[in-house]
Structure 1
Amino acid sequence: MTTFPTPTPLEWREQAEKALKGRAIESLLHLDADGLLIRPLYADATGVQALRAPRTTDAEGRAWDLRTLVEGDEAAAIKAAVLTDLENGAASVVLKGAFTTDETTLAAALEGVALELAPVALDAGFDGVKAADALAAVAKGSPRAQLQFHLDPISAFAEAGEGPIDAAVTEAAEAAVRLAGTYPDARLFLASGRVVHEAGGSAGQELAFAAASAVAYVKAAVLAGLTTEQALKGVVLGVSVDAEYFDALAKVRAMRLIWASVSKAFGHETPAIIEARSSRRMLSARDPWPNLLRLTAAGFAGAVGGADVVVLDAFTRAEGRPDAFARRQARNTQLVLMEEANLGRVDDPAAGSWFLDSRTRDLAEAGWKEFQSIEAEGGVVDALKHHLIQPRVERTRGQLEAALKDGARHMVGVTKYVDPDPRPAPVETADPSFVPVRHGALTPVRFAAPFEIASEEANP
């Protein structure tokens, strides 16, 4: 058997400084948006402890749930999109749109879908309870129906910056009790930090928001009548994954560590179920084709980070609702990662990397620290109502925007290597606008937008 020498930290340092052509290796040290130090070299001497954060699903089969996002206005078109996805590699779908609250339309859209085999999730915001009741009715009381109600009024309130949030959380908890009685294996809540990510927040802020939302939902559900074990089991944790794939996969692993501490504190250690959805703030509109690479990197991060569910958006999302071609690309990207790259064949491929284990622990600690701050402020609902979380996210967003503006960070195709004559891509329904950032709200942003606007003004 061939053996290879193990370089010492000093030998690694010498090689790194040689590549830097005289620059000190310390010049590569930098701080991230959470103020965490990122080193150019990691080794056992840095005190990194090995971590293990594998997903709980079976890596011998499909390691993760390949989920697609389906939107629309008409039942026939939605039905066609759902069946196309499920017949061509998707394992489940998440439905978004006004149709989700109407039982008749929803039933027509899901005609031909075996709900006992294909999980159906919802993304309905403040209309979550109405949508959940409609989906429950469509399932006709089948106890084996794979329903993901994803009640999440906290994220809806955070994005809107207004609304009857206390009543909405109570209503969601009462609905969860009712739905759990009929569908004991259903997932009830989505405790997601994605609203923070899309508003420009840091990884630590996103993790903290997800954890704080989970705590709020579990407490409300127990108060409404669920057992602690039922409430914990009913929570899905939502995180964003983007083209910064090392950080994104470490963030997924960190979410699993944080949840272990949260569920243990409730007295019932419960395996985390994590849904990773691709970032929208990273997408470009003027030149959509590089988004294919960004989304591939995001899918890689979700898979290698150990997400139980991965949802990749379409590469044309920044321009509007994607057409069939863009949806196919989103679906096939995951199929290639899963069935050709075999990314799910190892339970926790990041384990044992000094850098990734260190980064995972750092993000988990940053998220836990921010989570403790939110809890000390009265919990996530009170912290949002008193505008305590929003300014922290705004500061982080400002730092990231400034870094892009002054060249400290780059977006390929947007701030660097810009195609002067990009090829457009078709969309089903054009809707490129983003809501202006509102004070007191975690408004979604898209970092490429200011540069694209400036380009249009310079080249009308």
Structure 2
Amino acid sequence: MTQPFPIPTPTDWRAEAEKALKGRALEGLVHLDADGLTIRPLYGRANAADAVFAPRAVGADGRPWDLRTLVEGDDPEAVNAAVLTDLEGGAASVILAGAVLSDSEPLSRALNGVSMELAPVALHAGIDGPDAANALAVAAKGSPRARLLFHMDPLTAFATAGGSPRPIAAHVELAANTAARHAGAYPEATFFLATGRAAHEAGGSAGQELGFAAAAAATYVRAAVDAGLSVERALGGTVLGVSVDAEYFDSLARVRALRLMWRSLSRALGHETPAVIEARSSRRMLAATDPWPNLLRLTAAGFAGAVGGAEAVVLDGFSRARGRPDAFARRQARNTQLVLMEEARLGRVADPAAGSWFLDHRTRDLAEVGWAEFQKIEREGGLIASLHGGAIQQRVARSREALLKTYQDGGVHLVGVTKFVDADVRPVSVEDAPPPSAPGDGDRCRLLTPVRWAETFEGEVA
């Protein structure tokens, strides 16, 4: 008869840890993150929180998640070729960006041959989101089964540009009115993307990103209700966005935490609604001097989005820090997800993180600190008032300084940048991208400037 392995006690672990530390204090294994949360070296029954089960709501047409690709361009025929290549190569949906969104005619050409009843089409149009939404509504030819993701998100555009052509409240109102106008014709459509990406890419903490996303969601839902939508339709028409990076444990915990927060937020707004979460890979983690190790970072980010339970996962091209990714980089981004889905089979288990003492504890911690940030923004008058007053920007700046210091002090290394540097970097090609548009003079705020952690060191190793 086989004997079971003995289960070590915390006392046993402590003895072994002290032996390995060779006189150093055991407390040195306890760390504080950018939100001031404690991360302990050991989690178990003695310090476990209640179990968390936060699976994605539904599969994506028989697949565990929606493999979504980003296609950017100004020429409709080139964009159309890229979209068809992605969909034929395994993508389930696409996000479009660039000048093709300027009007329904070029957008219709870019979507020639795409069945929008089967392949959802999303938009990334910045402050011009309502105009792009109108163009997509025309391109969909009134099909009530078209799965349109308008992804209107003027708040992120305002925060990252530092301004908008008109008062930002007017842009939010216009987005809400646009949603109300198309809701009847397109019952499968979603209208808003509520994300904390602006805070994340500017160096914000996990709690600040989650709080920003919740505050954006509350702003859009309230505006949609004022525009005439029911609370149920407004909530169901809101997609949540979250960033995932190479710190995959924290990233997947962010996805799960956002789902918990949405459960509370939708209930507070009047109708508990299942979350629909789109996880996008972080750009602040990418390197430019040697972009090839970004493939590893993006794989870790895709793993986090999939295991964390995001309904859709979007991976950027590995050459993004150099410019707009070309066809090869887009293919690598798509194939990375296919390997995770079809070969690693990450979607076979619903919420595989559930039951992990550490990940359940971390999920709850992040949900609580994200909710506290959301409440702080609400006390400041809501997200628009917080951006106007600069309060959220100040908190993000402090987090950015603290996180950057961990890299400068050597507490965290960047493969290919601060460690394992390749002396003979292989070249990469990128496409030309248009310069960012001016924010306009209608409204201003202190912008949330994007950061890349590697940029501080790349001059030294180039």
- TM norm structure 2: 0.95
**Which stretches of structure 1, 4 residues or longer, exceed 4 Å deviation after superposition?**
430-433
Equivalence for 1:309: 312
- Read off the aligned partner of 2:77 and give its amino acid letter: A
What corresponds to 2:458 in structure 1? 452
| Partner residue in 1 for 2:395 | 392
Please report how far the alpha carbon of residue 14 of structure 1 lies from its aligned counterpart in structure 2 after TM superposition. Answer: 2.8
Report if aligned partners of 1:319, 1:431 keep a CA contact under 8 Å in 2. Answer: no
CA drift of 1:403 comes to 1.8
Over 3 Å counting, the alpha-carbon distance change for 1:160 and 1:60 in structure 2 is closer
- Is this contact kept in 1: 2:107–2:139, CA < 8 A? yes
Please list every run of 5 or more consecutive structure 2 residues that lacks an aligned counterpart in the other structure: 439-443
Q: Distance in 2 between matches of 1:90 and 1:229?
A: 29
The separation in 2 between residues aligned to 1:356 and 1:225, in whole angstroms, is 40
The DSSP-based 3-state class of the residue aligned with 1:57 is coil
- Tell me the CA shift for residue 51 of structure 1: 0.7
Match of 1:112, SS state, is coil
Change (3 A) 1:191 1:59: closer
Judge conservation of contact 1:59–1:347 (CA < 8 Å) in 2: no
3-state SS, counterpart of residue 382 of structure 1: helix
**For the residues of structure 2 that align with 1:390 and 1:301, how far apart are their CA atoms?**
27
2:212 is equivalent to residue 206 of structure 1:
no
| 1:295-324 deviation line (CA, Å, top 9, x unaligned) | 000000000000000000010111111111
Letter matched to residue 239 of structure 2: V
Q: Deviations over 1:54-81 (max 9, x none)?
A: 1011389311000000001111110010
Corresponding residue for residue 36 of structure 1 = 37
| 2:193 match: secondary structure | strand
What is residue 78 of structure 2 aligned with on the other side? 77
Q: 1:186 maps to what in 2?
A: 189
Contact 1:60 1:345 in 2 (8 A): no
Gaps of 5+ in 1: none
Task: Report the alpha carbon displacement of residue 431 of structure 1 after superposing the two structures with TM.
Answer: 8.1
CA distance, structure 1, for counterparts of residue 5 and residue 109 of structure 2: 62
Structure 2 distance, partners of 1:336, 1:15, is 38
1:347 to 347, 350, 356: 350
Percent identical residues: 68
- 1:154-169 superposed matches below 5 A: 154-163=155-164, 164-169=167-172
Aligned to 2:450, what secondary structure does the other structure show?
coil
Name the SS of the counterpart of 1:277 in structure 2. strand
Which residue is equivalent to 2:441?
A: none
Q: Which amino acid aligns with 1:403?
A: T
Q: Residue 320 of structure 1 contacts residue 431 of structure 1 at CA under 8 Å; is this kept in 2?
A: no
> Structure 1 CA distance, aligned partners of 2:103 and 2:48?
55
2:329 paired with 1:326: yes
8 Å CA contact 1:59, 1:346 repeated in 2: no
Cα 1:400/1:37, change in 2 over 3 Å: same
**Is the Cα–Cα contact under 8 Å of residues 195 and 216 in structure 2 kept in the other structure?**
yes
Distance 2:395 2:65 in 1: 33
The alpha carbon displacement at 1:26 in A equals 1.6
1:401 is aligned to 404
- 1 CA distance for matches of 2:350 and 2:135? 37
1:79-118 residue pairs with structure 2 within 5 A?
Answer: 79-118=80-119
Q: Aligned pair count?
A: 454
What SS does structure 1 have at the residue aligned with 2:184?
helix
CA contact (8 A) 1:67 1:91 kept: yes
What's the CA shift for 1:402? 1.8
Secondary structure (helix, strand or coil) at the match of 1:89 reads coil
Secondary structure of residue in 2 paired with 1:66: strand
Whether the 8 Å contact between 1:320 and 1:432 is mirrored in structure 2 is no
Structure 1 window deviating more from structure 2 (40-49 vs 278-287): it is 40-49
Residues 158 and 442 in structure 1, CA contact (< 8 A), matched pair in contact too:
yes
Q: Does structure 2 conserve the Cα–Cα contact (< 8 Å) formed by 1:59 and 1:344? A: no
1:334-389 per-position Cα deviation (integer Å, ceiling 9, x unaligned):
00000100101111100000100010000000000010000011100111111111
How far 1:439 sits from its partner (Å)?
8.1
- Are 2:130 and 2:175, in contact at CA under 8 Å, matched by a contact in 1? yes
Q: Using the alignment, how far apart are the partners of 1:12 and 1:417 within structure 2?
A: 33
Displacement after TM superposition at 1:421 (Å): 2.4
Aligned residue identity for 2:405: A
Q: CA, structure 1 residues 329+265, in 2 after alignment: closer, same or farther (shift >3 Å)?
A: same
The residue type paired with residue 170 of structure 1 is: E
Cα shift at 1:48: 1.7
Determine the C-alpha separation between the residues in 1 that align with 2:379 and 2:24.
44
Could you tell me which residue of structure 1 aligns to residue 128 of structure 2?
127
2:377 is aligned to 374
Match of 1:241 in 2: 244
Which amino acid letter does the alignment assign opposite residue 241 of structure 1? Answer: V
How well do the aligned residues superpose, as a CA RMSD in angstroms?
A: 1.9
* Alignment match, 1:45: 46
Which residue in 1 is equivalent to 2:362? Answer: 359
Residues 346 and 364 (structure 1), Cα distance of their counterparts in 2 relative to 1, 3 Å cut? same
Q: Secondary structure at the residue paired with 2:240?
A: strand
Q: How big is the shift at 1:180?
A: 0.6
The residue aligned with 1:141 is 142
Distance 1:18 1:424 in 2: 47
Amino acid aligned to 2:41: P
Deviations 1:75-112 (Å, cap 9, x if unpaired)? 11100100000001000000011211211110000000
Given the alignment of the two structures, is residue 442 of structure 1 paired with residue 448 of structure 2, yes or no?
yes
Residue deviations 1:176-234 (CA, integer Å, cap 9, x gap)? 10011211120110001111100110000000000000000000000110000010000
Return the offset for 1:432.
Answer: 11
| CA distance in 1: counterparts of 2:422 and 2:44, whole angstroms | 40
Contact 1:25/1:40 (CA < 8 Å) preserved in 2?
A: no
Question: Is residue 412 from structure 1 mapped to residue 415 from structure 2 by the alignment?
Answer: yes
Distance 2:203 2:308 in 1: 21
In structure 2, how many angstroms separate the alpha carbons of the residues matched to 1:67 and 1:420? 34
Cα offsets for 1:218-259 (capped at 9, x unmatched): 000001100000100000000000000000000000000000
Residue type of the alignment partner of 1:444: P
- 3-state DSSP class of the match of 1:182? coil
**One-letter identity of the residue aligned with 2:452:** R
* Bigger Cα displacement from structure 2, 406-415 vs 347-356: 406-415
Tell me, yes or no, if the aligned pair for 2:163 and 2:445 is still in contact at 8 Å.
no
Q: Is the 8 A contact 1:33 1:202 kept in 2?
A: yes
Aligned to 1:295: 298
